[in-house]
Amino acid sequence: MNDDIIAYQGVEGAYSHLACKKAFPKSITIACDSFIEAMRLVESGTANIAMIPLENSTAGRVEEIYRLIPKLSLHIVEEHFEPVNHCLLGIKNSNIKDIKYVSSHPQALAQCYKNISDLNLKAQAKFDTAGSAKEINEKQDKSHAAIASSLAAKLYNLEILDNSFGDLQGNVTRFIVLSKNIQTPLYNKNSSYITSLVFQVRDIPAALYKALGGFATNGVNLIKLESYTIAGSLQVSQFHIDIDGHPEEKNLKLALEELRFFAKEIKYLGIYNKHKYRYE
């Protein structure tokens, strides 16, 4: 994989930036204001790949991504799981007793709600975790803190006042790596794969039940099933499925044949190796 340049959404020090550094440590990263901007950079060839968050173990799915991917000419070539370790950050020479206000992205604030309440801090919602850290550095006010990553602390010269500020342990975000080029791995019976695709069902009774029935009868595991309405209609739904397997496996071949009979507008998003996190 040509992973020299990676696009991600957020500012330097964001969790997406941290994921890029962990998965592709030697690559150049480009910060983008939005997910669509990061994806467009890959489509245009400015970036080789994009690192995009798809779901979080605490906050759930990033619905916007499920709607965007089918519209673009990009392919999932890899997945990456990144632990989210929220840190409480303050300016240098400050301590927790100095803090009155804490800022971060609403999701991060929600995931640290108990600890924020225990310290009787006033939460302030911001656009980005790392952006909050940058702002704290600019303010240089001991009464203001931010919730962000350890990378943000390093980039913005901040003190880590608590390196495990999240209410729950085991908070993990699943990222997908998007490329303009299809990079389907050759099937190896000793390896494990995921096949991701989207489809709509035909206008017949019990269409979804019949479309998915082939996976059950052929013993194929569905890792994920998501549904969402098509833009401009409340009656048409699109379904995203992550399938445990490679299309070259006999059972999955048979299941996909049944799916094609009852579904329409099937689009393969990618076939890629399972991340090692799934075995831990």
Q: Does one domain contain both 264 and 197?
A: yes
CATH of the domain at 237: 3.30.70.260
Sequence-separated (6 or more) residues with CB below 8 Å from residue 264: 199, 200, 201, 202
**Does position 229 have pLDDT exceeding 90, yes or no?**
no
Q: Count up the domains in the chain and report the number.
A: 3
- What pLDDT digit, counting tens, does each position of 134-175 carry? 999 999 999 999 999 999 999 999 999 999 999 988 889 999
> Which of the residues 173, 195, 239, 262 is marked catalytic?
173
Name the 3-class secondary structure at 232: coil
Q: Does one domain contain both 12 and 122?
A: no
Single out the residue in 179, 213, 231 at which a domain terminates.
179
The parent domain of residue 224 ranges over: 193-279
184 in any annotated domain: no
152-169: buried (b, 16+ CB within 10 Å) or exposed (e) per residue? bbebbebbbbbeebbbee
186 in any annotated domain: no
CATH of the domain at 59: 3.40.190.10
Let me know if 175 is a catalytic residue.
yes
> Which of the residues 24, 175, 239, 262 is marked catalytic?
175
Let me know if 129 is a catalytic residue.
no
- In 3D space, the residue among 214, 207, 273 whose CA is nearest the CA of residue 244 turns out to be 273
Q: Does one domain contain both 91 and 72?
A: no
Q: Does one domain contain both 67 and 91?
A: no
Q: Does one domain contain both 42 and 175?
A: yes
Name the strand (E) or helix (H) holding 210. helix 207-217
Q: Does one domain contain both 92 and 147?
A: yes
**Does position 2 have pLDDT exceeding 60, yes or no?**
no
Q: Does one domain contain both 210 and 273?
A: yes
CA-CA-CA-CA torsion for 157, 161, 166, 169, nearest 10 degrees? 100
Handedness of CA 228, 231, 236, 242 (dihedral sign): negative
- What pLDDT digit, counting tens, does each position of 56-73 carry? 888 788 888 988 888 889
**Confidence (pLDDT) at 60:** 82
187 in any annotated domain: no
Q: Does one domain contain both 67 and 124?
A: no
Sequence-separated (6 or more) residues with CB below 8 Å from residue 193: 185, 187, 245, 246, 271, 272, 273, 274
112 in any annotated domain: yes
Handedness of CA 250, 254, 260, 266 (dihedral sign): negative
Single out the residue in 179, 207, 235 at which a domain terminates.
179
117 in any annotated domain: yes
Q: Does one domain contain both 204 and 248?
A: yes
Single out the residue in 151, 179, 207 at which a domain terminates.
179
**Does position 110 have pLDDT exceeding 60, yes or no?**
yes
**Does position 232 have pLDDT exceeding 60, yes or no?**
no
Q: Does one domain contain both 39 and 175?
A: yes
30 in any annotated domain: yes
Name the 3-class secondary structure at 101: strand
